[in-house]
Structures are given as structure tokens and as C-alpha cells.
Structure 1
Amino acid sequence: MSTAIRELPIIDVAPLFTASGRSEVAEQISRACREQGFFYVVGHGIDPALVQRLEALSHEFFALDEATKLRWRMELGGRAWRGYFPLGGELTSNRPDWKEGLYLGTELDDTAPEVVANTPVHGANLFPDIVGFRETILAYMEAVTQLGHRLLEGVALSLGLDAQYFHDRYTADPLILFRLFNYPSQPVPEGLDVQWGVGEHTDYGLLTILHQDSIGGLQVRTPQGWIEATPIPGAFLCNIGDMLDRMTGGLYRSTPHRVTRNTSGSDRLSFPLFFDPNYRARVKPIKGLPAVEQQDDSAQRWDQANVHAFNGEYGDYLLNKVSKVFPQLRESVL
């Protein structure tokens, strides 16, 4: 087992689905959230055949020529912020990432209250016309969303809270955003300012639950320096977002991470699902937690942002972030 795997803990979360052993899992989650902000999840119960099917269909989609993929481009998703973006079409720290992707989320039709209210990042997905793709994406999102609910119960217990603390306040109807990312193994065209597959950043919400294929490339910043988040077959990788950092007063910090450019010779897939507070939720600090000496770590953050200074609905925070990722689409959402 590599050093990187040893540095990021592996937690068997099976007891979160039962009535016994939850306190031991909660203690492991507490330690991981305080020390690394990342941990591998095994014992999650998600069918590996479902994950394999999504990988196969995603490879089929990304192998299409760009003109065909652009039939589902993000500009057609409007305020729902869904659809395909091509290589170099997403920015981190004002530089293009060397990846392409398909943005997805909870599937809502025109009668859903959030859609009727014209709420940003809510609506229908743009599903590519590949047999079985829609059904597989929806089944995967449902399975991982249910895992997210259980993981947040573990996080609540790790903080000495009731297991339903986050559900009752923020995630009875969570904001679920899901991405299919492809990192092609091909050179960057001359003159394009690309350094990374994805530049250094933190995630915005509560938890990110990531499936990555066997190629790897994700790196995590620790107090000892950058380490590889080496893929473990059958495991998901989970990390803390900015809102959990804010809620815990910095006790659990959202950890910067990045993705190297893919030079493996094969396309690399990763599937992050962002399990976030409801769009209209006002995120507040949790009372009674141990005080953290330095809450404001903005000087060490890639965007110099202080998550503890934010005051408002989660949707406000999210839109401020994503409008910088796709500046050309800002007007369709804001």
C-alpha cells in the first residue's frame, strides 16, 4: 500500500446503515475531518456494476466528436446550469482546466416548485442520446445521494450532535450537483494557458463524494505538502466543502486539492457528486463546538476567500463561485 493511501484514512461506513457500531465510525470520521479533510469510504453498499456501467457509457459519450457532444452544450441548459462543456471550457483561478465534462443534477421537470420559481441550478438535465445513459446516471445519483445522507449522519455524530442535525436544518431536500469529467491524454495546444487538469481549489458545499477510475491524478494539500489521492478499487473518496468548514468554525476545514494533467496514454474519468445544503438554506455556525484559534485562513486559500465571513443563503455563495468558473454563462443564471 502506498504512502499516500496510508495518509488518507480508509473508513468502513457499513455501520452507518445499521444500529450498531456507529460511534466507532463517527470517531474515525472526526479524526479524518480534523486532520486531512479527505477520507476513503468503503462498505457503502453501492453496486460496483452500476459504477462500471456509468464508466462504460461515459467513455462512449466522450469518444463522440466535439460537434456531436455540443448538441448538449451548457448554453442550452439555461438557468439549470446543465450540459456539456468542451476542453478548456471551465476555469479555475482564471485559468482553463484541461478537462471536458457533463454537468448534471437532480432531475426536475417544469412543474417542480424550484423551476416554477426560476431558481438557478434547478431544472432538467441534458441527457446525451446514448442507450441506457439517462437511466444509469439517475440510478447512480440516487445511490450516491443516499450514501451522502448516511455520511452526514456520521459527520453529525462525530461532532456530538443528533444524527439528524444536518438533515433537519439543511439537507432534507439537498442541492445535488453531479459531474462526469473526462481528462484526455493529449497535448495542450500551443498558446493555451493550461497548467493543470484542475487547478487548486476547495469545494463549496458540505460533502463531495468522488468516484475516480484507476488512472489517478488527484492531489490533496496537507500540512506536510501535496500528496496523491491514489484510487482504491471499490472505494469512494469523500472530502469536506466550505459550508461544513463554516458550520464547524474551522474545526473541520475544506482542504485544497487539484488534478494533474493526464499523461497516462488513456482517458481518465472522475465522477464527483456534490452533496450540499438546500439552495435557500442559511448556513450558520454550530453552537457549542470547540473554539478554533484561527478561523480565517483566507491568506492560505487559492481565492483568498474567508468562508467564515459569508452571510446569506447557500445559493448566494454557490452562484458567486460558479459564475467565475463559467464567466460566459454568468448572465443566464444571475
Structure 2
Amino acid sequence: MPDTSAPTPVAAFTPTTTAELPVIDVSALVRPGAGRDAVAAQIGAACRAHGFFYITGHGIDPALAARLERLSHQFFDLDEATKMQWRMALGGRAWRGYFPLAGELTSGRPDWKEGLYLGTELADDHPMVQARLPVHGRNLIPDVPGFREAIRDYMAAVTQLGHRLMEGIALSLGLPAHYFAERYTHDPLILFRIFNYPTQAVPEGLDVQWGVGEHTDYGLLTILRQDDVGGLQVRTPGGWIEASPVADSFVCNIGDMLDRMTGGLYKSTPHRVTRNTSGRDRLSFPLFFDPNFEARVQRIEGLAGADALDDSAARWDRANVHAFNGRYGDYLLDKVSKVFPQLRDEVL
């Protein structure tokens, strides 16, 4: 999900062959045993270098991901009038449902994608729903046979993977493995998106330049499955590079709140998605593993190399993530209200 707090100019893409994102086998985190510290060290090096890395050995059944991909294509192949039966305006404060092409903004400009917003399923009588807490509630899941079950199973599996990865990140910082779970993520805020980047041309007169414009994510950790079409680009110290698909892997990146927690030691990294000209539609499945809505994000004290300097002049959005104090949910709502300004009143 993009952070959209301020406009930013579109930079020219400068390919580089000198930098590649590391591929880390995380099986030692997923299946407890020897080797966790070595994996944590690799994650720490990636987070210090550019905040992005691939993971393999994650333990998630490829058949589950393939099933979700197949059913997602079935949904997006429906005509727009049918898909709008599950439009986000019907999701209310839960902030769930379908949005059409160019319906989501990054830096005030429409992205050339459509998608489904999803999250942890909560019944109407759940205390958080009864309290009208924004971004909590039921999902609006399209009536495609098997889709609900595939989404449920996939979210559950990747959420458990998120817990294990956060243990690795904690170890990489020299902290106890359960540091984040004890303070922020015992009951994480899980936001899940299914995005479709169509290969069709953009209508004349529509101000669209990217599949998704340049942005950073604003939570703790993003766990992304992408299909084999490609299009994700990451800004590294050596320039923009392609995060090309790697079979049976996830792409992980840290967000602004982990940047804040670590005092800038682990940087949230700008990334973007090119417009799809491949000749076939592209799917991506980002799951955002974030602090609990009520959590108050605090800086981790005593980290060597952390300075928490105001780096807003160098950021894509000119924001100072280290200046934020308060409830994570308030920070989240400020961001999502800019992604869909027409729905702002539903959650604020």
C-alpha cells in the first residue's frame, strides 16, 4: 500500500547491473533449529543496505499460491459492473472491497491497477467492530467459487510467516526474538491486497504514468508474492533496479515504522511498479504485517548506528517519519485517507 502524503516528481529509470537484491533462505526461522542467527544476520545486512530482500524456504505450499492466483484472474476477468458489486464504498469503516482501474492514488496521481482490499476477518459482534474502530471488520469477498477459502488460507499462512520474519528481524538487531510480538504484533494489524495490473492502454487524457508511483510502505514489514510478469522496481544506492520475479519466493521490504523504531538504522526504501505492457495481466499479492492499531510506536533504545536524524529532505515525500508520536492507527488513517480521498469520511 503506498504512502501518499505529498507529491513527488517522477524520476527517470536508470538501469543498473551492479546491485541485486539478496535471496535469503529463511527455513531456519520457519522450522526452529540451528541456523537462526545466520539467517538473521543476512536479513540485517539487507535491511541496512536497502531494505529489500527475497525469501525462499518459507514453507508456504506453492499450490496454495497458485490456487489464489487462478481464482484472482477469474475475478478480474469479470466485467467492471459485476466487480463493482463488491466496491469499497460498501465496506464502510472496515475499508474493504474492490476498486476499479485508476481508483487508487499515489502522490495525487491515479495508479494503473485495480484491486481488492482485504484484512483480518472480524464478525460484526467483535469488540473492535462494535467500537467502530476503522479498518476492522468483515471482508467483501467476490462470489467466485473457492475464492473466500483461498484468501483465508493464504492470509493465515503468510501471517504466520510474518511472525517468524519479525523474530529474525529482532535477532538481527540483537534483541530477543519475541521483542516485536511482546510490544506490537501479538495481534498484528494485517492488511492484504490483491492487485491486477492490466495490459490494456491508458485512456487518453488520464494522468497515469505508473502501475504504482514511487512510494514507501508505512508499517513494519511487507511480504509480497508477485507472478512471473515483473514490473517492480526498487531504488537502491546504486540506482533503480528491477526486482525481477524469482520462482516460489516472496519479496520482503521494511516500512516507515520499522525505520522509525530503529532510528533510521533500517531504512524504508522507495519502490514503484511500471505500467504493464507485457501482453498479459500481472497479479501481485502484498500482505502488510503491521503493529496493532492501538500500539504506540517507540524507538528502540541503544541500537548502535541509529541516529534518528530528520532525513525528510532526501525522502520521496519530504516526510520525517521520526517525528511521529502516538497511536499507530492514527498514523495509518492519515495515510490511507490520501489513497482514496473519496472514502476519507468513512474512517475519519
Give the TM-score normalised by the residue count of structure 2. Answer: 0.94
| 1:298 aligned residue (297, 312, 324) | 312
Query: 1:151-300 alignment to 2 at 5 Å?
Result: 151-293=165-307, 295-300=309-314
Q: Is the 8 A contact 1:298 1:304 kept in 2?
A: yes
Which residue in the other structure is 1:15 paired with? 28
Q: Is the 8 A contact 2:219 2:291 kept in 1?
A: yes
Cα separation, 2, equivalents of 1:235 and 1:5 = 22
Which residue in the other structure is 2:9 paired with? none
Q: Is the 8 A contact 2:18 2:238 kept in 1?
A: no
- Judging changes above 3 Å, is the alpha-carbon distance between structure 1 residues 87 and 4 closer, same or farther for their aligned structure 2 residues? farther
The Cα of 1:196 is off from its aligned counterpart by 0.3
Which residue in the other structure is 2:154 paired with? 140
CA RMSD of aligned residues (A): 1.3
The Cα of 1:19 is off from its aligned counterpart by 2.3
Counterpart of 2:214 in 1: which secondary structure?
Answer: strand
Counterpart of 1:7 in 2: which secondary structure?
Answer: coil
Cα separation, 2, equivalents of 1:327 and 1:294 = 31
Identify which range, 278-287 or 301-310, moves more after superposition: 301-310
Counterpart of 1:304 in 2: which secondary structure?
Answer: coil
Cα separation, 2, equivalents of 1:5 and 1:273 = 29
- CA offsets, 1:2-54, max 9 Å, x none? 98696100100000121211010010011000001000010000000000000
Unpaired runs of at least 5, structure 2: 1-14
- Judging changes above 3 Å, is the alpha-carbon distance between structure 1 residues 249 and 326 closer, same or farther for their aligned structure 2 residues? same
Give structure 1 regions of 4+ aligned residues with deviation exceeding 6 angstroms: 2-6
Cα separation, 1, equivalents of 2:86 and 2:217 = 25
Counterpart of 2:162 in 1: which secondary structure?
Answer: helix
Q: Is the 8 A contact 2:225 2:284 kept in 1?
A: yes
Cα separation, 1, equivalents of 2:313 and 2:335 = 18
The Cα of 1:294 is off from its aligned counterpart by 6.3
Counterpart of 2:63 in 1: which secondary structure?
Answer: helix
Which residue in the other structure is 2:77 paired with? 63
Cα separation, 2, equivalents of 1:259 and 1:296 = 27
- CA offsets, 1:70-123, max 9 Å, x none? 000000000000000000000000000000000000000011111011000000
In structure 2, give the amino acid aligned to 1:249. G
Unpaired runs of at least 5, structure 1: none
Cα separation, 2, equivalents of 1:203 and 1:151 = 17
Which residue in the other structure is 1:77 paired with? 91
In structure 2, give the amino acid aligned to 1:258. R
Q: Is the 8 A contact 2:199 2:276 kept in 1?
A: yes
Count of matched residue pairs: 333
Percent sequence identity over aligned pairs? 75
Cα separation, 1, equivalents of 2:111 and 2:315 = 18
- CA offsets, 1:177-230, max 9 Å, x none? 000000000111011000000000000110000000000000000111100000
Higher relative contact order (CA 8 A, sep 6+): 2
The Cα of 1:283 is off from its aligned counterpart by 0.2
Which residue in the other structure is 2:55 paired with? 41
